[in-house]
Chains A and B, each alone.
Chain A
């Protein structure tokens, strides 16, 4: 179980309708079903992973969030979850817009490119950073739109959505990101978790 699952589950209210975008093998879906008794659906681009989800009894459709979120009516979910995939889309702007149209609220998690290890890696090696959290080389990484926690705050202003909750994950410890500690969190945290609303 990924360490952010518990944090996501804490944000989501019981018995709500949830959509997990890029639901992978369905492990977060299973966790949320069990912890929060939610009515949960998933959308996943990989055929193999969709089949894994189906074998777990989860309701998942094969699809690409950039094109296939269209089919869900406005506000048809209480929460839409996008876990560590925003940076992999060709058009993160469209995806964010769609998340906020389909869901009342969205929970977005991003691997923080502002983490000191990433920065040091680039500074010292002079090559694109390869870390534990970001294990791919520049030429084969699915993460084509990496951003930092700070970037996400700027993004919220440009895209005109509100951040209701922003949490940072560092060595499995959760902390709240505030404007006073933003620069520090941006340097030391591996993951940002945001609850957003239009």
Chain B
């Protein structure tokens, strides 16, 4: 994917040693900002996006022409109030919205990286993002906030840079991927690589797109973002623009039609190889193992104030996994608040209009800012 005109990019000259052992330097990190940095430079919030998110958090995404992925939570007078705070969000490395990723040209071969791109980790993603603080001259963030894979980045960020943020809000996340999480990601990757248009990851050289595989990956993942109750209430067994079953394999049910639509719009905005790389980064994430089985050690040097949030109907990153983070923090006397928000919207709750969540997030941030 080519870098588009309206994408801001920071070119990172400093070499970054990746977990896989490879060193990258002189690479682009695409980002966007909202609101303005105050004189003291103490009102910055780093927002970390999830698997298929990008730096366009709110307002109109100039590339997709749709609302930013966190428009419910970020904006003037919203939970993350851009009248008060300076919001920064970077596209993760490995992504496809301008940051260094598998769609970029390998200078050595003059060809697109594809699967020659190094496997990146959440740790690598965070270590690339820290450069934005230097770029803006920010010594310490007011907060680092993110849901799902964004929450993993929050945890990794505080662990890597314990004195670089005043507060941290990991939402609907985990300190390591469960077998079930890995299984769903593997299903998505298999769908992509089984598409004969994937061509060992070299599809863009041949003007081909593994859109069927990527769409199936998205459909499967999308189910994991919703709850059974939510799906049942929204779709049940309702039929799609027909009075009766057609005794065939078209989308008879509304849920089928909905999933197909979700798959089809996704392929227009996302790159299949990026999907492989980012899901891999999530699977490899294991902050417990990184600290020899003791998650508490990951946070022992930080004085940051944490607020962990989970959702009742999230079965992808269930409350217990979020609570494990709280337990690890309490074990070392860290400053941590926690609430499980009632919602039947599943894992996606953090992206949607869930008033209890949005209000609580806002209250936490606004109160903590003046402490």
Which residues of A approach B to under 8 Å, CB–CB?
17, 41, 47, 50-51, 53-63, 71-73, 76
Contacts and interface: CB of A to CB of B under 8 A. Distances in A.
B337 A55 contact: no
* Residue among B338, B339, B363 having the largest count of chain A Cβ atoms under 10 Å: B339
Nearest to A19: B330
Given A54-B337, A61-B337, A71-B331, 6 more contacts: A47-B342, A50-B339, A53-B337, A54-B367, A57-B368, A59-B337
Nearest to A59: B337
B307 A54 contact: yes
Q: Which 10 A-B pairs have the closest CB atoms?
A: A57-B367, A55-B363, A61-B338, A71-B327, A71-B330, A50-B339, A62-B339, A59-B337, A51-B360, A54-B364
Contacts of A58: 337
A47 B326 contact: no
A76 B333 CA distance: 7
B46 to A, nearest CB: 21
A59 B306 CA distance: 9
Contact of A55 (B326, B338, B342, B360): B360
Contacts, number: 58
A176 B367 CA distance: 39
Given A57-B368, A59-B305, A73 B339 contact: no
B66 interface: no
Interface in B344-371: 356, 359-360, 363-364, 367-368, 371
A30 B327 CA distance: 24
B330 A59 contact: no
* Residue among A17, A53, A55 having the largest count of chain B Cβ atoms under 10 Å: A55
Contact of B331 (A57, A63, A73): A73
B341 A47 contact: yes
A53 B360 CA distance: 10
A62 B327 CA distance: 12
B336 interface: yes
A56 B337 CA distance: 12
Interface of B: 305, 307, 326-327, 330-331, 333, 335-342, 356, 359-360, 363-364, 367-368, 371
Contacts of A60: 337-338
A57 B369 CA distance: 10
Contacts of B340: 47, 62
18 contacts: A47-B341, A47-B356, A50-B338, A51-B339, A54-B337, A54-B363, A54-B364, A55-B360, A55-B367, A56-B367, A58-B337, A59-B336, A61-B336, A71-B326, A71-B330, A71-B331, A72-B330, A72-B331
Contacts of B342: 47
Contacts of B326: 61, 71
Nearest to A62: B339
B326 to A, nearest CB: 6
Nearest to A57: B367
Contacts of B327: 71
* Residue among A41, A47, A55, A62 having the largest count of chain B Cβ atoms under 10 Å: A62
A62 B341 CA distance: 10
Nearest to A42: B337
B342 to A, nearest CB: 6
Contacts of A51: 339, 356, 359-360, 363
A7 to B, nearest CB: 27
A60 B339 CA distance: 8
A76 B330 CA distance: 9
A64 B337 CA distance: 14
A63 B340 CA distance: 9
Contacts of B307: 54
Nearest to B357: A51
B339 A54 contact: yes
Contacts of A17: 333
* Residue among B330, B342, B359, B368 having the largest count of chain A Cβ atoms under 10 Å: B330
B312 to A, nearest CB: 9
B339 A47 contact: yes
A184 B360 CA distance: 47
B225 to A, nearest CB: 22
Contacts of A53: 337
Nearest to A50: B339
A83 B360 CA distance: 25
Contacts of A73: 331, 333
Contacts of A41: 335
Contacts of B341: 47
B319 to A, nearest CB: 9
Contacts of B331: 71-73
